Amino acid sequence: HCNCSFRRLFAQPLPFTLLEEEIPLANLTDPRHFQRYNYMRPEPGAVKDAPIIPDPRRHLYFKSAFVMNHAHGKWTHAQQQIQRLVPAARVARQLIADKTMVGLHIRNVFDAPRDSRTFSSTTGNEAIAAAEKEYGRKGTSKLLAWRKAAHWSNFVPRITSLMRQHSLTRTSGGLSQQPLRFYLAADSEEAYASLLKRFPNRILVTRRECASERCDFRDCEGTLYALVDMLNLARTRLILGSGWSSYSEVAAYLGGSSGNPVPILMAGRDFGALVGAEHGRYSPKTPCCNPLEGGTDGEAFLGMEAGAEDGDPDNLIQHFWPRPF
């Protein structure tokens, strides 16, 4: 899926035994020796969110792009595990964000096939057909709506609002704050070029070569850059993220603590054109109102401690997260 060795991403020794070889499915069919769980719909036999009940007398095979439905599968436990991973030296050298900054994750390009014939067709027939196989027609329609909501231009009012509010605050000694800066991770050259031009000297990025349409190819080089971006987002104090993207979610939890994520506002849910607003489904909750329209517009999150919301920490994001199934 990522076309890259785990050892190129994370430093040795790893906190677990790693086998980077494809296991023939024929070797996993004997139920006397293996339990098999697959959350990857629409693959044959896949059942997303099936309860995981380990049998200590057998091996367990688990294939998923989602957290495990198990007592230790929630983010409270998962966060502890992923934070044990140490980035490889090449990745670590490119970590430039810090807790004075706001992270921007822009996931706007529709999930298109990656072959040479269709790589630039982001909303064409091939892309739509591939998405419908995985998400179904209704799910694909929702995915398109969330991708549209995460266009870079929808982030501009919120960025402007945060900059304005930040400039009005003072340090404990009564001095002006240093200008607010942002770390940007995006999937298109258009987003990088447009926001860097719109907010000069305010946005940090990790430079890479991008095709004009997209910056998210799944080769090893692209995976390394994706990890660099994710870890930089995790190092910020607030993330402006994209809906229906587990990338924003993982970055938030990777940078959080005590089972809580970094505070996060979502394009299409907390700012910009709201997805499903006509039905009131994803209307924003206080203090996540639309920017420049009165009320609290996000600056409260800059001083918000992780876990400030009430309820189960695992619900801070996922309870309101748009899901394909």
Per-residue pLDDT tens for 180-206? 999 999 988 899 999 999 999 999 999
When pLDDT is cut at 50, 70 and 90, the band that residue 323 belongs to is very low
Cβ atoms of 185 and 97 within 8 Å: the answer is no
For the cut 50, the answer to whether the pLDDT of residue 313 exceeds it is: no
Q: What is the pLDDT of residue 316?
A: 43
Cβ atoms of 314 and 259 within 8 Å: the answer is yes
Neighbouring-strand partners of residue 271: 267
Q: What is the pLDDT of residue 111?
A: 63
More confident of the two residues 241 and 130: 241
Q: What angle do CA 184, 185, 188 make, to 5 degrees?
A: 110
For the cut 90, the answer to whether the pLDDT of residue 286 exceeds it is: no
What's the predicted TM-score (pTM) here?
0.82
Q: What is the pLDDT of residue 172?
A: 67
The percent of residues in the chain predicted with pLDDT above 70, rounded, is 74
**Surface-to-core class of residue 148, CB atoms within 10 Å of its CB (0-12 exposed, 13-18 middle, 19+ buried):** middle
More confident of the two residues 27 and 14: 14
Match 């990790």 to its residue by tokens: 206
Cβ atoms of 183 and 204 within 8 Å: the answer is yes
pLDDT in tens, 36-93: 999 987 788 899 899 999 999 999 999 988 889 998 888 889 999 999 999 999 999 9
Q: How would DSSP label each residue in 254-289?
A: HT-BTTBPPPEEEETTTBSSPTTGGGTSS---TT-P
In angstroms, what CA-CA distances link 90 with 4, 86, 97? Answer: 14, 11, 16
Q: What is the pLDDT of residue 213?
A: 59
